[in-house]
């Protein structure tokens, strides 16, 4: 049972930022990653469409015998994880924008959230924001256009830099001291964001927290792989395999699969 893989899915290659944290913390776990790049971006889709895609990905991972599923996508988590948890028996780990640590630690009383339209308009996001944003200005920004650029392998480009410059403007005007990355594609933009933001602005993403939660839940359910041999970390993409390979530094087995 414990040697069964952890299943991970995202609308595309962004969830590899979560995979990397999980693989570092749980180096003996077998994993299967689905990059649903054919259907990216999820961010502008309806809640029903995001749910249908999340179900499709989940069922494929369950067919492949996964013991736990990490929804490595803020948009899918905030729109679908309740239904997934109520429908399937395996444990699910989700990812949401880390508003809490930003709201609790801000000194300027202004924080920025960069996420997809699907995440920012979800009930789950509103509930969390309402819970922690008392007396704090929350500058929400839809990262329109970012995911397609990452999916096309255009991270370190002038186009990306110009887009981020536009998105950071209202946040800087509001004097934010925390920027929350609410999409798993965005950690790959940190080098550009560091250049664009003043030094005192801290950038928060939830990758490590997700990895820690995955470990806790595996332990709680007695699902930790007891073997300490080299694991199998497999990646399937229904889109551009070359870009996925590059973001993984050509270190893992990547295959095309039509799903």
Binding site for ligand DGL (CB under 6 A): 10-12, 14, 40-43, 73-75, 116, 119, 147, 183-185
Active site residues: 73, 183
Query: Closest approach of Cβ 252 to ligand DGL, in Å?
Result: 18
Specify the residue, 231 or 239, whose C-beta has the smaller distance to ligand DGL: 239
Q: Residue 194: beta bridge partners?
A: none
Specify the residue, 14 or 239, whose C-beta has the smaller distance to ligand DGL: 14
Query: Closest approach of Cβ 169 to ligand DGL, in Å?
Result: 22
Residue ranges of alpha helices (H) inside 98-223 are 99-105, 117-120, 123-132, 146-151, 158-173, 190-196, 207-220
Residue 214 burial (10 A CB sphere; 0-12, 13-18, 19+):
buried
Tokens of 184: 């798993």
Helix (H, G, I), strand (E, B) or coil at 143: coil
Q: Which distant-in-sequence residues (6+ apart) come within 8 Å of 10 by Cβ?
A: 16, 18, 33, 34, 35, 36, 72, 73, 76, 184
Specify the residue, 112 or 231, whose C-beta has the smaller distance to ligand DGL: 112
Specify the residue, 21 or 177, whose C-beta has the smaller distance to ligand DGL: 21
Specify the residue, 40 or 203, whose C-beta has the smaller distance to ligand DGL: 40
3-state secondary structure 116-137: CHHHHCCHHHHHHHHHHCCCCE
- DSSP letter at 231? P
Query: Closest approach of Cβ 122 to ligand DGL, in Å?
Result: 10
Specify the residue, 75 or 141, whose C-beta has the smaller distance to ligand DGL: 75
- Closest residue to ligand DGL, based on beta-carbon distance: 43
Query: Closest approach of Cβ 226 to ligand DGL, in Å?
Result: 31
State how beta strands 137-142 and 253-256 pair: unpaired
Q: Which strands sit side by side in the sheet containing 31-35, from one edge to the other?
A: 92-93, 68-71, 6-10, 31-35, 233-237, 253-256
Sign of CA dihedral 146, 157, 94, 126: negative
Of residues 83, 57, 88, the one with CA closest to residue 72: 57
Query: Closest approach of Cβ 132 to ligand DGL, in Å?
Result: 20
Query: Closest approach of Cβ 149 to ligand DGL, in Å?
Result: 12
């Amino acid at each position: 049972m414990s040697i069964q893989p952890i299943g991970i899915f995202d609308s595309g290659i962004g969830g590899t930022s979560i995979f990397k944290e999980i693989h570092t913390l749980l180096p003996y776990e077998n994993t299967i990653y689905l990059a649903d790049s054919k259907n990216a971006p999820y961010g502008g889709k309806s809640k029903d469409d995001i749910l249908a895609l999340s179900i499709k990905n989940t069922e494929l991972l369950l067919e492949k015998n996964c013991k736990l599923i990490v929804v490595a996508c803020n948009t899918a988590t905030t729109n679908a994880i309740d239904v997934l948890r109520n429908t399937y028996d395996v444990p699910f780990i989700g990812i949401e924008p880390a508003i809490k640590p930003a709201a609790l630690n801000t000194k300027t009383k202004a924080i920025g959230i960069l996420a997809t339209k699907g995440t920012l308009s979800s009930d789950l996001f509103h509930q969390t924001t309402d819970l922690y944003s008392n007396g704090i200005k929350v500058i929400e920004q839809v990262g329109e256009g970012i995911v397609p650029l990452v999916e096309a392998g255009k991270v370190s480009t002038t186009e990306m830099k110009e887009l981020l410059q536009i998105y950071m403007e209202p946040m800087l005007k509001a004097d934010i001291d925390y920027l929350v990355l609410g999409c798993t594609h965005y950690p790959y933009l940190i080098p550009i964001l560091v250049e664009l933001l003043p030094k005192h602005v801290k950038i928060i993403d939830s990758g490590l927290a997700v990895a820690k939660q995955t470990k806790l839940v595996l332990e709680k359910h007695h699902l930790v792989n007891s073997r300490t041999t080299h694991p199998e970390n497999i990646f399937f993409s229904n889109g551009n395999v070359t870009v996925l390979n590059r973001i993984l530094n050509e270190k893992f087995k990547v295959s095309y699969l039509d799903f």
